[in-house]
A and B are shown apart, each in its own frame.
Chain A
Amino acid sequence: MKIAVLVKEVPDTWGDRAIDPVTKRVDRGGDMVIDEINEKAVEAALLVKEAHSGSDVTVVTMGPKSALDAIRKSLAMGADRGIHIIDDGLRGSDAVQTSAALAAALKGRDFDLVIAGNESTDGRTAAVPAMLAERLGVAQLTFLRTLAVSGDTVTGERVTPDGHVDVRATLPALVSVTEQIAEARYPNFRGILSAKKKPVEVLAIADLALAAGDTGGDNAWSVVADVTARPARTGGTIITDDGTGGTQLAEFLASAKLI
C-alpha cells in the first residue's frame, strides 16, 4: 500500500504566536515545530504500514527550508521518503492554493491512502484535506478518531458535534485524523540516524506545472486586508473566597445581566 502523509511546520503553541503586521502573515521567525496533529497522522500511517507488509509511507510538506525538519522528524519516526514543495513564489498561499500545490505533487503517484491532520494549530481552517479530496477526485473520510484498512476498504469513526458516525470508503481515499487517533511514537536513535539517509524529493512551482499567475499571496483567492492584535483583557476583579465567594459571583453575574 502506498501512503502519503501531509505534514506542516507551525509556530510552537507553547510560545507566544504572532502575525507580522507588515506582511499580514504568520510570524515564522520564532520556534517552529511539526504540528502535533501531523505527528499523529504519521503515526496513523505507520500503523497502517505495519499492518500491511510491503507498504511505503511518503511524507509531504509545503514550506520554506526550515520545513525540512518536519520531514526529517517524520522519517525518524519511520516514514520512508519525503517530498518537500518549496518555492518563494508559493509564499502567502491560501488554502485554495495550498491544496492545488499538494494535489499537483500527489497526482500520478498512485497513492492508495492520503492521511492529513484534521486541522492545523496555526490556520485552523480545516479545509485543505477536503479541498485535496475534491482535487484528487477521491473519497474523503475526515475527522477520524479510528482508522482501519482491510482489503480495498478503509473504515473509521468520524467525530461529530453530537457523537460519532462510522464511515467507510473504497481506496484510494483521503483521511484526516483527530488527536484521538494515536499517540505518536518517539524516534529512536537508529531512526534519527537513518532519517538523514532517506530520500527527500524537492519540487518547485515549475515541477508542479502550476500557472505563475495562480500562485502566492499576490494571486490568492482570499486576501487579508487588515490584522489587529486584540488588546489584552484587563480590569478583571479577582477576589479570594471568604465564605461568600459564590454569592459575590452570583451578584456580579446579576449586575452584568448574565443571570
Chain B
Amino acid sequence: MSHVLVLVEVANGALDSSTPELLAAAAVLGDPAAVLVTEPGEADAFVVELGELGAAVVFTASLAGVDSMLVTPQVAALHAAVTASGDVRAVIVGNSPDGREAGARLAIRIDGAYQGDVVGIEADNASGGVAVTQQAFGGSYTVTAGTGRGIPVISLRPHSIDGRAPAAAGIVTEIDIAGDTTACAEISATHEQKQASERPSLQGADIVVSGGRGLGSKEKFVLVEQLADSLGAAVGASRAAVDAGYCDHNLQVGQTGVTVSPNLYIALGISGAIQHRAGMQSAKTIIAINKDPDSPIFEVADFGVVGDLFTVVPQLIDAVNARRG
C-alpha cells in the first residue's frame, strides 16, 4: 500500500495529543508513516509509541537547534519523506498553526493540493484519490472536495476520525534535512500559559464550557472554570468576554477565534451573535443558559435554560458532582 505521511508534533517531551487521531486518519487511506523532527538524539523516545499508534514507518529527521526554528524544518522533513517513500498517497498534518503552515508550504514545494480544516477523510478508490469533507461558514455548509492535481496535503480538525489505527512495526528510516537553507524565523522564547488545572486544550476538547458578557466580570468568570472542571471540560469564551478582559484571547471561540466541534458545548451568558455561532454550531450537543429568552443562542441550542446563570450553574455543578460522587 501507499504511504500516508503524518507530521508528528512534539512539545514538552511528549507527542501532541492529536497524534493518535492523525495516524488513524492515515490508516483510512494507506500505510501510516510518521514524520518526526527532533533535536539530535531525541527521536528514539517516541518511535515505539508511534508504532503502537499505527505508524508502519517512522521517518526521523534531527537537526541541532530545530526547536527554535519556525516551521521550515518540518517542511524540509516532509519533503524529504515524500522523496524517500516514493509512493505517497496523501500527507496529513494537525490543525495547529504549525501543522497547517507546514502543510501549506509543503503543498507548494511538492506541487500538491492543500485542503485545510478537514473534518472527514475517505479513500476514493475508483480514482485512487482522496475525498475530504470540510465545513464552510462555521458549519452552515458541508463541502466535499477531491484532488485535481498532485498529492493532497490535508490538515485535520480534532474529533474528525473515530477509532484508532492498529499497531504497526514503526520501522525507522532516517532522513537528512541538514542541507535545507530555506529562510526561517527564529523562536527566541516560549511563553506557555499557566494552567490552573489539567484542563484539556480548547480545540481538541470533548466538552467545552464557554462564558460570555453575561458573566459580568473577570472575578465571576471563575464560575465558567468551575463548571468546566466539574465536567473535565475546556474553557472557552465569546469575543465580548475576551474584549471585556474576563479571560485570555486564546480562549476565544468564534469567527475570529478557535473553531470547536466538541461532543458537548455549554454556552453561559452568551447571546450567540452570528460570529460566535460560526465557531461552535457544529458541536454535537449545544446547551445554553441565558437570562434573555430572545438570545439567538437558543435557536441552535438542544437544551436551553432561560434564567440567572449564577443560580442555575451552581445547581448544575452540584448535580454533576452528585452523579459523579
Contact = CB atoms under 8 A, between A and B. Distances in A.
Asked if chains A and B come from one complex, the reply is yes
Interface in A144-165: 145, 155, 158-165
B286 interface: yes
Interface stretch (B26-34, B53-61, B104-112): B104-112
A238 B293 CA distance: 9
Interface string A224-259: 111111100101111111011111111111101011
Interface of A: 13-14, 17-19, 24, 26, 36-37, 94-96, 99, 121-122, 124-131, 133-135, 137-143, 145, 155, 158-170, 173, 179-180, 219-230, 233, 235-241, 243-254, 256, 258-259
The 9 A-B residue pairs with the shortest CB-CB distance in the complex, in nearest-first order? A241-B307, A246-B315, A250-B319, A221-B113, A127-B104, A246-B316, A130-B101, A169-B185, A130-B104
B148 interface: yes
Contacts of B250: 159, 161-163
Contact of B249 (A122, A166, A180, A221): A180
Contact of A249 (B184, B201, B305): B305
B183 A137 contact: yes
Contacts of B191: 163-166
Contacts of A219: 148-149
Contacts of B314: 246
Interface of B: 11, 70-71, 75, 96-98, 100-105, 107-109, 112-117, 131, 136-137, 139-150, 152, 182-193, 201-203, 207, 231, 249-250, 255-256, 259, 263-264, 274-275, 278, 281, 285-287, 289, 293, 298-308, 311-320, 323-324
Scoring A18, A19, A133, A170 by chain B CB atoms within 10 A of each residue's CB, the highest score goes to A133
B323 A139 contact: no
A122 B305 CA distance: 32
A243 B286 CA distance: 21
A245 B305 contact: yes
A177 to B, nearest CB: 12
A8 to B, nearest CB: 14
Contact of B117 (A124, A140, A145, A163): A124
Contacts of A256: 285
A121 B112 contact: no
A169 B320 CA distance: 50
A contacts with B: majority SS:
mixed
Nearest to A122: B137
Contacts of B278: 13
B250 to A, nearest CB: 7
Nearest to B101: A130
A241 B306 contact: yes
A143 B302 contact: no
Given A19-B137, A37-B256, A134-B109, A233 B185 contact: no
A162 B201 contact: yes
Nearest to B231: A259
17 contacts: A17-B137, A126-B116, A127-B100, A131-B114, A137-B182, A140-B70, A161-B96, A164-B191, A226-B144, A229-B140, A230-B141, A233-B301, A236-B298, A241-B306, A245-B312, A254-B323, A258-B285
B256 A245 contact: no
B302 A237 contact: yes
Given A131-B104, A137-B183, A246 B312 contact: yes
A177 B87 CA distance: 37
Given A221-B114, A250-B316, A258-B264, A134 B302 contact: no
A240 B149 contact: no
Contact of B105 (A134, A227, A251): A134
A22 to B, nearest CB: 14
Contact of B150 (A221, A241, A248): A221
Given A226-B144, A250-B320, A258-B264, 13 more contacts: A13-B275, A126-B97, A130-B71, A166-B191, A167-B186, A170-B183, A222-B114, A241-B312, A243-B311, A246-B311, A252-B303, A253-B320, A259-B231
Contacts of B203: 161
